[in-house]
Structure 1
Amino acid sequence: MLDVTRKLVELLDLAPIGDDHFQGESEDLGFPAVFGGQVLGQALMAASRTIEDRAAHSLHAYFLRPGHPELPIDYEVQRVRDGGTFSVRRVIARQAGKEILTGSMSFQVEEDGFDHQDTMPYAPGFDTLKSEHTLSLMMKQYIPEHLRDKLTRERPIEIRPVAPVNPLKPEPRPPHKQAWFRAQGDLPDDPVLHRCLLAYSSDFGLLGTSLNPHGVNFMNRGMQVASLDHAIWFHRDFRIDDWLLYDTDSPSASGGRGFNRGNIFNRDGVMVASTAQEALIRRRRDKK
């Protein structure tokens, strides 16, 4: 396991601070606030710490305030219900005493049932694509100096976009994206960890799908972008240290909000998870 991946695993290893209360550290990825995927992954880990013999099958969360990347986050888990086959937990994430995320997670015992899925869409093989890290190094000299180190450092999640966009000169494109991704290095055989890492990774690039048709991104002056909510459904078992295809689309944008959807497949074409997210995509008006 690479050092950067080990640090991410440690970031998700929350410290208990009381009955059903946990605390996690934050990392600075160069964004104006804490990366939303970090809070999602830690919230799911907090809820999972109160569950036995049941796997997470869905997560629904709202981002309430931007988090500070240099402050720890406290997670309160509320045990909503433990039924015969399903358990529900509510999680509240707080930073400096203020709520930054609230969400619900549902867990289910393993059982058999009907089985069908959409066919995996065509995508070029991951071995034919360059990683985001490689692409960022290729344009390092053009990245603003205050962002250069953070945007070009090695990441624990390797992402290989199918049709990469030049972040410094975005152009209008259809509202659809594809990328292969995986955690770098071998991970323990812990399905909870793999689900939490997928929750973490699922926030990368999803918001940007709704920006594609408009030829802008978060680096454009005057743009205010942020995840408003996030949902993920886990359909089947998977390993995040093996390649997964993230296929996303954005069927609508209006009222300063962009709606995004995603399906995640393993390299054998098995659909392992789906996501949905609404995001703030606002162009600030100049004050006169």
Structure 2
Amino acid sequence: MTSNDPARDALAAITGVDAGTSANPSVTVPIDALVSILDVEEAGDDRFLGHNYHAPNGRIFGGQVLAQALAAATKTVGDDRPPHSFHGYFLRPGDPSVPIELAVERLRDGRSFSARRVQAVQHGKPILSMIASFQIPSGGLDHQAPMPEVPRPHELPTIAERLAEAGHRLEDLGPLLRSQPFELRHVQNPLFLTPGPEKIAEQAVWIRPTSPLPAGDLLHAIVLAYVSDYTVLEPTLRAHGLAWATPGMKTASLDHAMWFHRPVSFDEWLLFVEESPSASGARGLGLARIYASDGTLLATVGQEGMFRVPE
């Protein structure tokens, strides 16, 4: 599913959002619509149903499936055990026309840790397989990598301003920009349509919800899992002088891992510090450290993606 506007297609592919594709058109606030689909529906016997929010390019956004699988797993664990990590493999493209069946298997409940396996299924076949781990909060060793010095969000152009500078008519992109549940501000030039000026395998992006999230550390962690699939693969593109709109390029997420280091509050700007340490065999690895604006390291993400580029 593509439009005649490469900027619209690239932005929709990155964020999983395209204007007018909400499964519940009565919910008009973008962040409220996102929260509604991440609250997966109970279907009995540790089974849940996930509804599809957006379907750019005719397939379900990977971050949606990750977040719904994590949400389903959390519903089988006590409130005293927040998630501390998950590892998932994308097995097949998701079909936006049918709900996602989420089957949770209780692997272990120990004194401090719990583990769950989640299979996200459509048409009788898994589209994602995930194992998530949960832990009762406890004390212990504590250190973190420092947040780098980068421009603050208010010092950086908005996506609308970036696109306007590139000659795009904002009246054409207005509905898409207004439908976004998150605002992004790239420290380097975004890679929507054109490569960056330098071939470097790193970047930084500030991200925040476009309106306040409901309270709750657990919800904020699930929403952060959703948005963790936004830009983590971009350093691979940047390192090779590519953009999301590169003609003939095919990309797909292969697997995704995330570690929650500290309680998440997503009521403010978060900084995603991203790099790609390696690309080979038509695959690129992306890593991201996610910081609160005060420099607290909240989470780390790793994702490998497939990149097929015409020769």
| Fold agreement, TM-score > 0.5 | yes
1:55-89 per-position Cα deviation (integer Å, ceiling 9, x unaligned): 10001000001112232111110000000100000
Matched, 1:99 2:126: yes
Q: Is the 8 A contact 1:133 1:154 kept in 2?
A: no
Tell me what 1:217 maps to. Answer: 243
Tell me what 2:12 maps to. Answer: none
Work out the CA distance in 2 between the residues paired with 1:136 and 1:26: 28
Tell me what 1:161 maps to. Answer: 186
Classify the secondary structure of the residue corresponding to 1:7: helix
Tell me what 2:24 maps to. Answer: none
Tell me what 1:193 maps to. Answer: 219
Tell me what 1:61 maps to. Answer: 88
For residue 249 of structure 1, the aligned residue among 267, 271, 275 is 275
Work out the CA distance in 2 between the residues paired with 1:111 and 1:73: 34
Equivalent positions of 1:1-288 (< 5 A) are 3-28=29-54, 30-52=56-78, 53-136=80-163, 139=166, 141=168, 152-171=177-196, 172-284=198-310
Q: Is the 8 A contact 2:191 2:234 kept in 1?
A: no
TM-aligned CA deviation for residue 33 of structure 1: 1.9
1:242-284 per-position Cα deviation (integer Å, ceiling 9, x unaligned): 1110000001100000011110110111100001111101124
Work out the CA distance in 2 between the residues paired with 1:136 and 1:70: 31
Shift in alpha-carbon separation, 1:34–1:200, aligned structure 2, 3 A: same
TM-aligned CA deviation for residue 153 of structure 1: 4.2
Q: Is the 8 A contact 2:67 2:226 kept in 1?
A: yes
TM-aligned CA deviation for residue 159 of structure 1: 1.2
Classify the secondary structure of the residue corresponding to 1:265: strand
Tell me what 2:10 maps to. Answer: none
Work out the CA distance in 2 between the residues paired with 1:102 and 1:248: 25
Task: Give the TM-score, by structure 1 length.
Answer: 0.91
1:215-265 per-position Cα deviation (integer Å, ceiling 9, x unaligned): 223322221101100000000012112111000000110000001111011
Task: Supply the RMSD in Å over aligned alpha carbons.
Answer: 2.1
Task: Give the TM-score, by structure 2 length.
Answer: 0.85
Q: Percent identity?
A: 41
Corresponding letter in the other structure for 2:179: E
Work out the CA distance in 2 between the residues paired with 1:73 and 1:96: 9
Work out the CA distance in 2 between the residues paired with 1:131 and 1:137: 10
Classify the secondary structure of the residue corresponding to 1:281: strand
Work out the CA distance in 2 between the residues paired with 1:156 and 1:267: 19
TM-aligned CA deviation for residue 184 of structure 1: 2.2
Shift in alpha-carbon separation, 1:142–1:98, aligned structure 2, 3 A: farther
Shift in alpha-carbon separation, 1:103–1:173, aligned structure 2, 3 A: same
Work out the CA distance in 2 between the residues paired with 1:93 and 1:62: 10
Classify the secondary structure of the residue corresponding to 2:56: coil
TM-aligned CA deviation for residue 28 of structure 1: 2.6
TM-aligned CA deviation for residue 154 of structure 1: 3.0
Consecutive unaligned residues in structure 1, runs of 5 or more: none
Could you tell which deviates more after superposition, 62-71 or 250-259? 62-71
Could you tell which deviates more after superposition, 106-115 or 151-160? 151-160
Classify the secondary structure of the residue corresponding to 2:208: strand
Classify the secondary structure of the residue corresponding to 1:228: strand
